[in-house]
Amino acid sequence: MPLPCVDVVLLTLNDRPAEEAAAQATLLAQTGVDLRICVVGNGCTPAIVPTAARALTLPENLGIPAGRNVGAHALAQDGRPAEYLFFLDNDATFPRPDILARLVAEAEQHPRAAYVQPRLTGPDDTTTPRRWIPRLRSGHPERPGTITTMTEGVVLIRRTAFDPAGGWADAFFLYHEGLDLAQRLWDQGHTGWYAAGIRMHHPLTQPTRHALFRRLAARNRVWVAYRNLPAPLIPAYLFVWTTATALRAVRGGGAQESLRGFREGWAGRRRQERRPMKWRTVLRLTAAGRPPLV
C-alpha cells in the first residue's frame, strides 16, 4: 500500500540557521509518509536545503502568506499534487518521527475537516500559550475538538480544500491569514480539527517582538471582515475588535500603531477579494463555539 503523500512548504529568511537546521532535520526524520519539500527563500536564496527538495528564491520578501502560496503552487507543478499540504515554520520542530503520519491519520478519521492542527508547545513539550490554542476556550490545551481558526505555521491542509479557497491571503503579509483561510474553508462546508494529542515544538516567542505587529494585526482584522463577513456583520465585528484593541492598548501601549492599522485596512479594503460567507456558515461557526464576531 503506498504511503500518503504530503507536500511541505517551509519559508526562510536565512535569519535563524540553527533553528532551521533543527526543523529540517526533524522533518526529514518523519516516517510513514512520502514527503515532497519546497524551501522558499523570501527575498533570499535558501541557505539550507535538504537533498531532493525544491528550492525557490523570491527577489523580495513577499510576506508569509504569499511565500507559502508560491511554495504550494510550485509543488503542484511537480507532477501530481499531494493530497495534503503541510506548512512548517522554520523554527518549529517535530519531537517524534511519526507526527505527520499521525496528523494524516487524524484527517482520515475526520473527513469533514479541511485542516488538522497539532498542539503547539514550547520546547518543554508542555507550555502552550493561549494564542496557540485555536479556540476561544483555552483553559485545556490538551483537549481535542473541532476548531474554527488555525495556527498557521504548523498545519496540515487538504489540497482539494486549499486550492478552491484561494490559498492564503497574499496581501496580509503577516498575521491573521490563518483566521481568513479557516473562515473560507468553513464556508466551503468543511471544518477544522485540533489534534491536541499530537504535539509540536516552537520557541516561546512573543508576536510583539515584531515592530509591525500592532499595525498589521489591526489592518488585517479589517480585511478579514471585509473579505469574509456578510455586510451587516462587518460594523459589529470591527466594533468588537476596536474595543478589544483599545483595552489592550491601555495595558500594553501601541494605540497609535493599531489606529494606523485600522485606518489602513479600511482605506485598502476594496483591493481585497470579497467572498462573504453564507449565513449558514455564520450559524455553523457560532454552533462550533466561535461566532464570527470574536
Query: What is the distance between the alpha carbons of residues 111 and 206, in angstroms, rounded to a whole number?
Result: 34
| DSSP assignment letter at 47 | S
Tens-digit pLDDT profile for residues 60-100 = 999 999 999 999 999 999 888 899 999 999 999 999 999 99
Residue 133 reports pLDDT greater than 70 = yes
Neighbour-count burial of 61, counting CB atoms closer than 10 A to its CB (0-12 exposed, 13-18 middle, 19+ buried)? middle
Q: With the CA atoms of 179, 34, 8 and 47 taken in that order, what torsion angle do they form, in degrees rounded to the nearest 10?
A: 160
pLDDT-derived band at 294, boundaries 50, 70, 90: confident
What is each CA distance from 218 to 153, 215, 271, in whole angstroms? 20, 5, 16
Tens-digit pLDDT profile for residues 206-236 = 776 666 889 999 999 999 999 999 999 999 9
pTM (2 d.p.)? 0.94
Residue 111 reports pLDDT greater than 80 = yes
Average pLDDT of the chain is: 94
Query: What is the distance between the alpha carbons of residues 236 and 53, in angstroms, rounded to a whole number?
Result: 46
The amino acid at residue 123 is P
The per-residue b/e assignment along 232-271, b for 16 or more CB within 10 angstroms, e otherwise, is ebbeebbeebbeebeeebeeeebeebbbebbebbeeebee
Q: What is the pLDDT of residue 2?
A: 87
Residue 250 reports pLDDT greater than 80 = no
Domains, the chain, ranges and CATH?
A: 5-205 (3.90.550.10), 208-277 (no CATH)
Q: What is the pLDDT of residue 139?
A: 80
Cell numbers standing for residue 43: 527575498
Residue 107 reports pLDDT greater than 80 = yes
End-to-end CA distance of the chain: 44
